Amino acid sequence: MKSCLSILSFFIVLGLSAQEKVLKNLDSQSEKYEAIALQIWDWAEVGYKEVQSSELLQQTLSEAGFRIEKGVAGIPTAFVAEYGSGTPIIGILGEYDALPGLSQKAVPQKESAEGIAGHACGHHLFGTASAAAAIAVKDWLKARGGQGTIRFYGCPAEEGGSGKVYMTRAGLFDDLDVALHWHPGDRNDASASAALANKSAKFRFHGVSAHAAGAPEKGRSALDGVEAMNAMVNMMREHIPQQARIHYVITDGGKAPNVVPDFAEVYYYARHNSRDMVIDIFDRIVKAAEGAALGTGTQMYYEMIGGTYELLPNVRLQQIVHKNLEAIGGVTYSPQELQFATTISESLGQKNLQTELASGVQPFKTEGRAYGSTDVGDVSFRVPTAGIRIATWVPGTPAHSWQAVAAGGTGIGTKGMMVAAKTLASTAIDLFSNPKAISEAKAEFLERLGPDFNYVPLLGDRAPALNYRE
């Protein structure tokens, strides 16, 4: 018995030592990954246009020994990078798209970098940290020998383009045992999270142009169609569930006041924590558009743009992620970063800078509240999925803000990025080393899914909306 215990202790120590070596190696390469992330931050390419960002990550993974499959799911900027063979197969998701209209310099005041977009959701950090984690796991697999496959998924157009939905529909996640992901945020949290299902479309109204003063009776305003639709949808808000969200922007409303616009377009999102409710709300939005067209003498067509499921949590996996995040810990600001963070915090109207949100880890919770949406939701209904949120922004910073862009271009962002890389790598190594944990995660996944589940993408069978940002 003593001999057996000694052998067991040896392997435990060996495992810990190997994992510590992986983490130290990541630390030694932090400058390399910082340079990659900041390059993607500088390019700031929007959904399905992330040509340079995708190529840089592909090059990084290829040089590390990964096999690259480009242009998957009919998307030029999507790819899969793989190392190893056999099972288990663990996937790490990476994103790299920016948001239009949020160009910002890495300074604590609002100051445009004169670009067309900005990384206001930190996906330059997301893609880079995930790639770094995949490479670290590859190194561990190579040193260990034996079976096992690590995959990096290059996922474009998360911001409204539903890139992962097309990848899910194409079956790219079907043979995975586990999928891991992370997201930038203003604190460190590995609790079971939630996300809202989402369905989006562009509604296009076609009318008849005429001189707005000289011959108004000859015209039929497409903008009137848009405005009538918006008025009806806004009245609808009183009669939808409290948890639902509807957003829109008028993307084209005409060019000159004295010309009756013959074309106008409005872009809508419908969200709820149940995809069935989202479908119902969206169908009502379509009816409002049809009524608006009828009432204004215009014609209306709509194009589905995005559609994502809610997030299916997996508590067993999240417990493993939380354990690793607690072991790694958060980030400590340098004096310069602290000054930067203080100024950012003041710009947000905060009286106190809560640095403990960046340096510490939030208590573990088995349930989360949904606020935004993510196409990770569809992945989570095909394979057991777990994620983390890491402090890459100044505490209190909302996503999709200039403050998020600014912090993402500094050490505040890249320090958090490396915490994410270490946590993902450690979690993947734990799973490779513990097949029982994977089995337990799969059992929970099947129980939550239910026996009658059938995956039907909210996007239907449409081709990827590669030009949705145009």
Per-residue pLDDT of 204-247, as tens digits, reads: 999 999 999 999 999 999 999 999 999 999 999 999 999 999 99
From the candidate CATH numbers 1.10.3720.10, 3.30.70.360, 2.40.50.100, 3.40.50.150, the one assigned to the domain spanning 197-308: 3.30.70.360
Q: Is residue 3 scored above 90 in pLDDT?
A: no
Q: Which fold has domain 2-195+311-331+361-449?
A: Aminopeptidase (3.40.630)
Q: Is residue 359 scored above 80 in pLDDT?
A: yes
Token output for 116: 């067309």
Q: Is residue 368 scored above 90 in pLDDT?
A: no
Residue 91: partners with Cβ closer than 8 Å, 6 or more residues away: 150, 151, 152, 153, 173, 176, 178, 179, 180, 383
Residue span(s) of the chain under CATH 3.30.70.360 come to 197-308
Residue span(s) of the chain under CATH 3.40.630.10 come to 2-195+311-331+361-449
CA distance 94 to 163: 11
Residue 72: partners with Cβ closer than 8 Å, 6 or more residues away: 78, 79, 80, 167, 170, 172
Predicted pLDDT of residue 11: 39
Contact 200, 279 (CB under 8 A): no
Per-residue pLDDT of 457-467, as tens digits, reads: 999 999 999 99
CA distance 429 to 410: 29
Per-residue pLDDT of 155-205, as tens digits, reads: 999 999 999 999 999 999 999 999 999 999 999 999 999 999 999 999 999
